[in-house]
Structures are given as structure tokens and as C-alpha cells.
Amino acid sequence: METRILKVKVDDKNIQVLGHWKEESAEHKDGTKTKTSNLNTWEVPAPSENEDILSPIREAAHHLRTTDIPVAFPTETVYGLGADATRSAAVKGIYAAKGRPSDNPLIVHVCDLSMLRSFISPSPSPSFSSAGDEEDPIPAIYHPLITRFWPGPLTILLPNPSPSLLAPEVTAGLPTFGCRMPASALARSLIKLANAPLAAPSANASTKPSPTAAQHVLDDLQGRIALILDGGSCSVGVESTVVDGLCSPPVVLRPGGVSLEEIRECKGWEGVEKAYKDQAEVGGKTAPRAPGMKYKHYSPKARVVLYEAEGGRGKVPRGDVREAVGAAGEKEGEEGKEKGKVKSVAVIRTGRWPVAGGLRSQGLDNVAAKDSGDVAEMGFVVREGQWLDEDGTTVLARLLEIDLGNDVKGVAHGLFAALRELDSRGADVIFVEGVSDGDDIAAAVMNRLRKAASDIRI
């Protein structure tokens, strides 16, 4: 199968061409009416002089309506691999393309609240902004979150109605499903034109780092899917936060683009608790309640050694380097493990470590990124040089370095791209400087890093 990349020529200046929220009349208690734009209906313009921007999205939507092969598309978090969530054959195409375990549920993406209500309620309901809570099929506990964070990187867990319009493969046999409305206007317009909610996990091969650029998708899924919509790099860089408000107290099932501290500012969510682990919950017999909970995720081919910020390590200890390099150099031979030579060592810094993580080095120079786009999009540069012995006389290996800076949002934005970039350059072992874990987006960063790590050091 040929995989084509369709570039969507959109930027901050012309993004309104992709669509807009329909204005609706709101009646107030005093009898007056005003025009308001809410999240009820997303509209896509009819074919016009801007069709060169919308035509790739229309082609992808037609593909989703008429075939069972998923389409990759950008969101504000990461690139998603979408298929019609109401058709089993289409959803099975996602699992086949990714090599994803069938008991790992999928998140459903909607373009507006009308679409969401259409498959969780047999009859249309008014907006919760103008109707009583009892009239809205969307549970009242989620109304404050939807008002503040949608469209955006937040997934809510909802009861799956019976009978359900969703394909059973979406929920992995669970009585609930996750749903979100992406902030990306491109994504919402694709969903609208497909005329169906899209089940969409990240558009990577299962267990690999999530894709934040179209090239990342191509690297993993070339020949497995037909179309990739290229809308540039993703602004957030980590997946959505997943919350469950159907239990008491409500919980966060996966940290992501919306922080725990932000959620706690919303009515009814002041006591929200964490219900996730930072290591994969391998071996359980039940399906995970949300994606990212059960299986190993986000892992490059290289061996990843993560240093927790709380350990206060000011650099990579030399003894750790030799140990990790030795472990990374073990390869499976015909008669068991045999020693292989480590040719490339890499360091990812996040603000405290010195250049090269304190390893003795020479000749570190900027090199062009291979797969991740330009510096402005990805937020980092790659430096390449040599790792030297203690005397500075012998070259031990090639050295690669990426500095993501000390802003945690910048770290989140560039993390997956950095892991992929170092993988593409043949790094055998990657030493990563962790960030301080908290209730902000740092929790999502460290959750992903802990799941990617082969070894975690304090």
C-alpha cells in the first residue's frame, strides 16, 4: 500500500478557513435573546476560493467514509490514527495498522457537542448552558470541565449506552468509553466532513514514542495506511488527560495536556485523585479503563536511562554510563547474549545538567534534524560530537545531545520528537534528565518518560 502525505496549507492567518462555530440564539430569564457561539455545532465552509486548503481534508474524509483503512491526522496533542467509531471493520483497521492489543480501548473524537449527544442519547437535547442538568445526556459532573477545557486535551469517561452506536472494538468490552473534542480546527473539520465520530489513538506503531509530526507517522506506518494529513507539528506534544467523573471521588486515569491543579479549580473536581501508575500495569486480566494504563508505551529502540529530578543528580555519573553502555551493548546472538559495541551515546537535558550531561566531550556542533522538522517547530536542536575517556585522549563513542530547556511545557512539546530524533540517528543508549514531578504538565512528562525508560535512577 502506498502511503501519501497530504499537506494542509494552514497557519494562524488563515485557520478560520477550516471552519467556525455556529451562532445560536440564547434566551435569558428576562426574556431577552442574544446571539452566542457555543460548542454545539461546528460548521465547515462549502467549496470556495479557499478549496486548496480544505481539499486534502475533504479527500481524507471521503477515504474515512468509503474505506476501512484509517487516516492519520494532527491534533493539538499528538497525531491520531482515525477511523469511523461506529463501524467495526474500520476500527479493526486501527488495531491492525498499529499492532495494538485488542483489549486497549480507544478514545472517541467528536467535532461538537451535537455529535456527542447524537450517539449517547436517542433524542436531541438542548445545550447544558440553557437546559437543566436532567435534560442533558452528558453527566452534569463534566459540565464545568467542558466549559473550561473543551475543545482541548481532555478526555472524559462516559457511560456507553445500550444499545450503542459505537463499534464494540472501541470500548474493548468496557461499559464506558473515553471522548474528547480536539482543539485542532483541522481535526474537527475532518470529523465533521467524515460525518462520524472518529476513534483515534496515537498514529504510531504500538509501544513506540507518540508522533508529533507527519514524518513520525510515516516512519512507523508507511505501507500500513494510505493517507497522512500534515498540519505541522503538534503544539502540546503529549496526549490528553483522561478523567473519570462517574466514580466518587472523581479520578485522573492518565495525566496529559490538562494538569491536575487546573482540574481541581473546577466545581465538583476539588477532590479529584490520581488513579494511574507510572509503570505499565502488565499482566492484568482486565481491560484498562483508559489508554496508556496497561502496556509499555512511548519506547524508542535505544536503551533509555531516566534520572529522577528528586535525586538531585547534577550530571550523569560516569559509573552509570559504563554500566548502561554495557547493558545496551548486549545483543541477542544465536547462543544467547553476546557483547556488541555501543557506537552512539545520547543525552537529553531539561535545565540543570551541564553540556553533554557532564560527560567529557569534544566537537559538539549543531546538526540538522533528520525527521522532526525545523527548530522553530520542534523547539530543539541536535548537537553531535565525541564522548571521551577521563583523560580526554580516547574517543569512546559518538555523542548526541538535545537540550529541551527548563520550561516544562517546552519539554512536553519536544519530548517525543527528541526520542525519535535520537533513535533515527542510531543512539544505543539515551540518558534523560527528568523534571520535578508535580500536579502540572510535568506529571504527564514524567509518566511518559517512566514508561519509556529501561532503567530509572534516583
- Report the relative pairing of strands 107-109 and 344-349 from DSSP bridges: unpaired
Instruction: Look at residues 451, 240, 422 and name the one whose alpha carbon lies nearest to residue 349.
Output: 422
DSSP alpha helices (H): ranges in 272-407?
318-328, 375-378
Instruction: Look at residues 80, 81, 74, 83 and name the one whose alpha carbon lies nearest to residue 56.
Output: 74
113 touches 294 (CB < 8 A): no
230 touches 7 (CB < 8 A): yes
Supply the pLDDT for residue 11.
Answer: 84
357 touches 347 (CB < 8 A): yes
H or E segment at 108? strand 107-109
DSSP-assigned states of every residue in 191-204: HHHHTS-EE--BSS
SS3 call for 320: helix
Tell me the β-bridge partners of 387. 361, 397
H or E segment at 178? strand 176-180
Supply the pLDDT for residue 205.
Answer: 94
195 touches 66 (CB < 8 A): no
Supply the pLDDT for residue 103.
Answer: 83
**Cα distance between residue 449 and residue 317, in whole Å:** 19
Instruction: Look at residues 337, 347, 341 and name the one whose alpha carbon lies nearest to residue 325.
Output: 341
Cis amide leading into 250 (omega within 30): no
**What is the residue type of 166?**
L
Supply the pLDDT for residue 338.
Answer: 46
DSSP-assigned states of every residue in 428-451: SEEEEE-----SSTHHHHHHHHHH
H or E segment at 377? helix 375-378
Query: How would you write the pLDDT of the chain (458 residues) with one tens digit per residue?
Result: 999 999 999 888 888 999 999 988 766 666 666 666 689 999 999 888 788 999 999 999 999 999 999 999 999 999 999 999 999 999 999 999 999 888 889 999 999 999 999 999 865 555 555 444 557 999 999 999 999 999 999 999 999 999 999 999 999 999 999 999 999 999 999 999 999 999 999 999 988 999 999 999 999 999 999 999 999 999 999 999 999 999 999 999 999 999 999 999 999 999 999 998 876 544 445 556 666 555 556 789 999 999 999 888 899 998 888 887 777 766 544 444 445 577 899 999 999 999 999 999 999 999 876 654 555 566 799 999 999 998 899 999 999 999 999 999 999 999 999 999 999 999 999 999 999 988 789 999 999 999 999 999 98
Supply the pLDDT for residue 366.
Answer: 94
**Other CB atoms within 10 Å distance of the CB of residue 173:** 11
| Residue where the block lists cell 459540565 | 143
Supply the pLDDT for residue 347.
Answer: 97
Instruction: Look at residues 57, 357, 102 and name the one whose alpha carbon lies nearest to residue 227.
Output: 57
Cell of 119: 450517539
Supply the pLDDT for residue 47.
Answer: 86
